[in-house]
């Protein structure tokens, strides 16, 4: 069946599905990052904020999985039936954070990049897609505010600021890579499914990261172009399979308590 907006059971455009899955899977991993790092918070408000961001990202993931399941996908398979080679999460989150500064940098870039890509669907003709996107944006706004508050705190210490800059130099290219080659194909926009070109979303992402320099009070090293590995997959927005160690963290371990 050809896809009809708002009509459950119809088949989605394959490239559109890939983008939704990349957003959902990255948020799945991001939610697990928050869950694993909750006790590394610096204060009680950190614990509460990180747990809140954890559950919000899990919610975004499940909302997208449920949408996909209404259009021909098996929800159980999406949530807990796939192997590490099937999960389309950003390479940005493959490596565990090395410290608090790296945690702040990585989660901020993950929140920002997933929101940028999702924001292209805010005016989608399917109200279910537009509604999910709007909800993601509303909650991500506060997640980014949390990160920005920490930019100012870390910028007050020379060592902390340097660690932030080092983490950013390592993580930023991985986040930028998620948008694909700067002059790559953009089939979702070309098909009229996403009304904002991928290039504009990529440029907006770069602009937002530049704005962080003022809060941090230090320059951030940015590469405007990135090299893509030979096994880069545009459909999954990543190269290689999810590391086995990370898969053990994110895989669904208690199927009997689901639903």
Task: Give dist(CA 219, CA 222) in Å, integer.
Answer: 9
Task: Give dist(CA 25, CA 178) in Å, integer.
Answer: 13
Banded model confidence at residue 112, pLDDT cuts 50, 70, 90: very high
Q: 242: which DSSP letter?
A: P
Banded model confidence at residue 198, pLDDT cuts 50, 70, 90: very high
Phi, psi of 238 (to 5 degrees): -160, 170
Find tokens 């990529």 and name the residue: 202
Residues sharing a CB contact under 8 Å with residue 37, sequence separation 6 or more, in sequence order = 50, 97, 103
pLDDT digits over 119-148, tens only?
999 999 999 999 999 999 999 999 999 999
- Percent of the chain, pLDDT > 90? 82
- 6 pLDDT higher than 80: no
Structure tokens at 132: 């999910």
DSSP string for 14-34? HHHHHHHHHHHHHHHHHHHHH
Closest CA to 98 of 35, 10, 163: 163
- 28 pLDDT higher than 50: yes
pLDDT digits over 54-93, tens only?
999 999 999 999 999 999 999 999 999 999 999 999 999 9
- 168 pLDDT higher than 80: yes
What CATH number matches the domain at 14-227, 3.40.190.10, 3.20.20.70, 1.20.1260.10, 3.40.50.720?
1.20.1260.10
Closest CA to 68 of 58, 78, 59: 78
- 258 pLDDT higher than 70: no
- 253 pLDDT higher than 90: no
List the end-to-end C-alpha distance of the chain, in Å, as a whole number. 29
Task: Give dist(CA 171, CA 166) in Å, integer.
Answer: 9
Average pLDDT estimate for 202-218: 93
């Amino acid at each position: 069946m050809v896809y009809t907006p708002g009509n459950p059971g119809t088949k989605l455009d394959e490239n559109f599905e890939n983008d939704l899955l990349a957003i959902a899977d990255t948020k799945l991993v991001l939610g697990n990052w928050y869950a694993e790092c909750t006790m590394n918070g610096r204060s009680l408000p950190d614990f509460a904020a990180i747990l809140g961001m954890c559950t919000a990202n899990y919610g975004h993931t499940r909302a997208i999985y449920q949408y996909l399941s209404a259009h021909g996908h098996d929800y159980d398979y999406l949530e807990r039936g796939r192997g590490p080679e099937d999960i389309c999460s950003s390479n940005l989150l493959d490596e565990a954070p090395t410290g608090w500064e790296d945690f702040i940098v990585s989660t901020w870039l993950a929140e920002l990049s997933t929101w940028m890509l999702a924001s292209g669907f805010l005016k989608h003709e399917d109200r279910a897609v537009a509604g999910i996107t709007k909800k993601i944006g509303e909650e991500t706004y506060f997640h980014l505010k949390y990160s920005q508050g920490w930019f100012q705190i870390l910028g007050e210490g020379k060592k902390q600021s340097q660690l932030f800059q080092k983490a950013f130099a390592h993580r930023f290219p991985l986040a930028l890579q998620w948008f694909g080659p700067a002059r790559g194909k953009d089939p979702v926009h070309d098909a009229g499914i996403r009304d904002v070109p991928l290039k504009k979303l990529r440029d907006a992402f770069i602009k937002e990261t530049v704005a962080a320099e003022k809060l941090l009070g230090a320059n951030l090293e940015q590469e405007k172009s990135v090299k893509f590995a030979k096994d880069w997959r545009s459909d999954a927005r990543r190269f290689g399979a999810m590391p086995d160690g990370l898969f053990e963290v994110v895989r669904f371990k208690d199927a009997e308590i689901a639903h």
